[in-house]
Amino acid sequence: MTIFPKNNSLKFLKYSKILLLIFFVYGCGSENNNESLLTNNYSYDNQWFEDIFLPEINYKNKCINPRIGTNPETNNTYYDIQGTYIDENNFLRSFSNNTYLWYDEIVDADPSLHSVENYFALLKAPHDRFHFTYPTKEWLQISQSGVSTGYGAIWINLSNRIFVAYTEPNSPATDSAINIERGDEVIEVNGINVNDIENSGQVSSALYPSTPNQTHTFLIKKRDSKDNQIVTMTSANITSSPVQTVKTIKTDTGNVGYFLFNDHIATSEKSIFDAITQLKSNNIVDLILDLRYNSGGYLAIANQLTYMIAGPTYTAGKNFETMKFNDKHPTTNPITNEPIQAIPFYTKTIGLSSMDSNTDLPFLNLNLGENGYPRVFILTGNDTCSASESIINSLLGINIEVIQIGSVTCGKPYGFYPMDNCGTTYFTIQFKGINSIGFGDYSDGFKPRMSSSEANMPLGCIVEEDVQKLLGHTDENRLSAALHYRNTGSCPNNSLSRSIMNINSTNNKYKKINKLKKNIFLSNKIL
**Residue ranges that bind other proteins, judged by CB under 8 A:** 70, 72-73, 75, 132, 134, 138-145, 147-149, 208, 210-211, 236-239, 264-267, 295-300, 350-354, 385-387, 390, 412, 414-416, 418, 427, 433, 524-527
Report, in Å, the least distance between residue 390 CB and other proteins. 8
C-alpha–C-alpha distance, residues 301 and 296, integer Å: 9
3-state secondary structure of 314: helix
Bridge partners for 255 per DSSP: 250, 284
Nearer to other proteins (CB atom), residue 31 or residue 138: 138
Report, in Å, the least distance between residue 49 CB and other proteins. 34
Bridge partners for 259 per DSSP: 246, 289
What radius of gyration, in Å, describes the C-alpha atoms of the chain?
Answer: 26
Nearer to other proteins (CB atom), residue 24 or residue 208: 208
Report, in Å, the least distance between residue 408 CB and other proteins. 17
Nearer to other proteins (CB atom), residue 301 or residue 463: 301
For residue 383, CA distances in Å to 35, 301, 309 come to: 47, 18, 21
- Taking alpha carbons only, the member of 442, 441, 446, 449 closest to residue 506 is 449
Nearer to other proteins (CB atom), residue 134 or residue 373: 134
Nearer to other proteins (CB atom), residue 2 or residue 141: 141
Nearer to other proteins (CB atom), residue 296 or residue 374: 296
Nearer to other proteins (CB atom), residue 220 or residue 352: 352
Angle formed by the axes of helices 12-26 and 31-40, to 10°? Answer: 140
Q: DSSP code of 414?
A: E
What torsion do the CA atoms of 392, 398, 402, 407 make, to the nearest 10 degrees?
30
Report, in Å, the least distance between residue 62 CB and other proteins. 24
Angle at the Cα of 411 (from 343 to 312), degrees rounded to 5?
35
Dump the DSSP string for 349-391: ----TTPPTTPBPP---PPB-TTSSBEEEEEE-TT--THHHHH
3-state secondary structure of 61: coil
C-alpha–C-alpha distance, residues 301 and 315, integer Å: 16
C-alpha–C-alpha distance, residues 412 and 116, integer Å: 26
3-state secondary structure of 145: coil
Report, in Å, the least distance between residue 114 CB and other proteins. 24
Report, in Å, the least distance between residue 526 CB and other proteins. 6
Report, in Å, the least distance between residue 116 CB and other proteins. 19
Report, in Å, the least distance between residue 144 CB and other proteins. 5
Report, in Å, the least distance between residue 17 CB and other proteins. 40
C-alpha–C-alpha distance, residues 521 and 383, integer Å: 11
Report, in Å, the least distance between residue 274 CB and other proteins. 14
Nearer to other proteins (CB atom), residue 143 or residue 281: 143
Query: Which phi and psi (to 5°) does residue 37 adopt?
Result: -65, -40
Nearer to other proteins (CB atom), residue 15 or residue 134: 134
Three-state SS string across 438-491, please? CCCCCCCCCCCCCCCCCCCCCEEEECCCCCCCCCCCCCCHHHHHHHHHHHHCCC
C-alpha–C-alpha distance, residues 258 and 277, integer Å: 13
C-alpha–C-alpha distance, residues 276 and 360, integer Å: 12
Nearer to other proteins (CB atom), residue 171 or residue 495: 171
Sequence-ordered alpha helix ranges (H) in 27-131: 31-40, 42-45, 85-99, 116-122
Nearer to other proteins (CB atom), residue 425 or residue 506: 425
Report, in Å, the least distance between residue 171 CB and other proteins. 11
